[in-house]
Amino acid sequence: MKKIAILVPLAFVAVGACFTTYSFLDTFIIVKHARSVDIDNNSSFSFTRASYPTKTSNSNSSKSSSKSFSFNSIPSEPGEYYEDKTEEEINALFTTDVVFREKEHYSDPDIYIDITTHRDEEDTTTYYVADIRLKSLENLKTALAKDTFGENINERTSDICKRKKGILAIDGDTYGSQEGGYVVRNGKVLRTTKNLNRGRKYRKSDDLVIYGDGTFEIFDEATTDLQTIVDKGAWQVFSFGPGLVINGAIAVREDEEVGTAMQDNRNQRCAIGIIAPLHYVFVVSDGRSNESFGLSLFNIANIMKDLHCMNAYNLDGGGSATMYMDDGTGNANGRGHLVNKPTQDLYGQSGTVGQREVSDIVYIGK
């Protein structure tokens, strides 16, 4: 009887411990549904160029407008894009030879990137804006960790960018941490299952599609079939969200937060926006440190709107938020460096800068 009184509880504790350990391994470590995919070969994808208004040399005012947006509906018509440069001025931004200035600027015949550092209105947080102009949408790409699709497959943003010989990279939608959500990368459909509950009160299932004509659209995954989006020429589809700016109007409430945010609503942020087709912005903010407290979704949405984004979308922030710049050579001893200061701290304790491994990136490259 004494043995039963000792052995039975021990057996239950052992079973419980094993099950708990397995559940955490299954969530964070065990690789699932892994398959090697080649998303770099996109010769069959059709890129078309959208026409959009540019400032004429005789016009003194830029064309911009924003449409009103109703919180519970997805607008179907794009507004007019913002442009304050003539076509000649835009072409002059591209350079014949590669121009590279660390943490500031890159240009060549096809790509123009200008990075500026800012402080938010309350002077609590540093954020970085990469203004990007491209000659072709082919230069706006995505890449997967270890070139493998699946859950719990992760790699640092800088390592993926260097391997792809990218020039500028930010983390993506971390699809590998989710069991569902549409995934289309470089024209290839990788996942068709939905993820409708992302832990948010509002705008629960916003996805972003980048079409082959260089335009963005934010749609509701709950009510949209992926095939419809693919048939319209989807180049990339992301499933994190929410949409920050939709057709020129802010689409998040002041109290809105990503369901997976660690603390209150001030965190590191990562966002992508379109000012006009082939004119994009990547915005990454610091947070959870003594220098930078972090931004709310409403803050970052205002920043994107102030940058004249017609559509802007929230990507994975927090410890995943990373902006990395390189010279496009992929050299291990090259000029690659972090633009922002990613930290894994919860409360800014140590200020140690360190990247989190992510499942995918969005990058500019040849």
Partner 1 sequence: MVFAWVYPLVFGIALLYLPLFLLSCFSKIKYVPGTIPACVYNFGVAMVTIRSIFIGVVEIYGRTNKNMVTAYTVLSILFLVAGALLIIGSMIYPLIKKDKVQKEA
Minimum gap (Å) between residue 304 Cβ and partner 1: 21
Q: Which residues of 178-196 are buried (b: 16+ CB within 10 A; e: fewer)?
A: bebbbbbbbbbebbeebbe
For partner 1, give the closer residue by CB, 131 or 316. 316
Minimum gap (Å) between residue 259 Cβ and partner 1: 7
Strand residue runs (E) in 172-220: 183-185, 188-191, 206-211, 216-220
Q: Report the distance separating Cα 231 and Cα 166, nearest Å.
A: 28
For partner 1, give the closer residue by CB, 9 or 109. 9
Minimum gap (Å) between residue 9 Cβ and partner 1: 5
For partner 1, give the closer residue by CB, 2 or 35. 2
Give the CA-trace dihedral at 229, 140, 146, 238, to 10 degrees.
-30
Closest alpha carbon to 335 in 122, 82, 23, 104: 104
For partner 1, give the closer residue by CB, 177 or 205. 177
For partner 1, give the closer residue by CB, 124 or 260. 260
For partner 1, give the closer residue by CB, 28 or 71. 28
Minimum gap (Å) between residue 103 Cβ and partner 1: 28
Q: Report the distance separating Cα 331 and Cα 187, nearest Å.
A: 27
Q: What share of the chain is helix, strand, coil (3-state, %, to 5)?
A: 20, 30, 50
> Prior bond to 78 cis, omega within 30?
no
Minimum gap (Å) between residue 159 Cβ and partner 1: 20
Closest alpha carbon to 57 in 82, 83, 80: 83
Tokens of 354: 């360190």
For partner 1, give the closer residue by CB, 3 or 231. 3
Minimum gap (Å) between residue 185 Cβ and partner 1: 19
Residues that bind partner 1 (CB under 8 A): 4-5, 8-9, 12, 15-16, 19-20, 23-24, 26-28, 174, 177-180, 195, 199, 259-260, 262, 316, 318, 320
For partner 1, give the closer residue by CB, 260 or 265. 260
Minimum gap (Å) between residue 29 Cβ and partner 1: 11
- 160 — phi, psi (to 5°)? -65, -45
Minimum gap (Å) between residue 359 Cβ and partner 1: 11
Contact criterion met (CB below 8 Å) for 326 and 336: yes
For partner 1, give the closer residue by CB, 167 or 361. 361
Tokens of 324: 């990395």
Q: Which amino acid is residue 76, in one-letter code?
A: S
**Distance of alpha carbon 36 from the chain centroid:** 22
Contact criterion met (CB below 8 Å) for 308 and 301: no
> On the CB side of 26, how many CA atoms lie within 13 Å of its CA?
7
Minimum gap (Å) between residue 239 Cβ and partner 1: 12
Tokens of 225: 């079939």
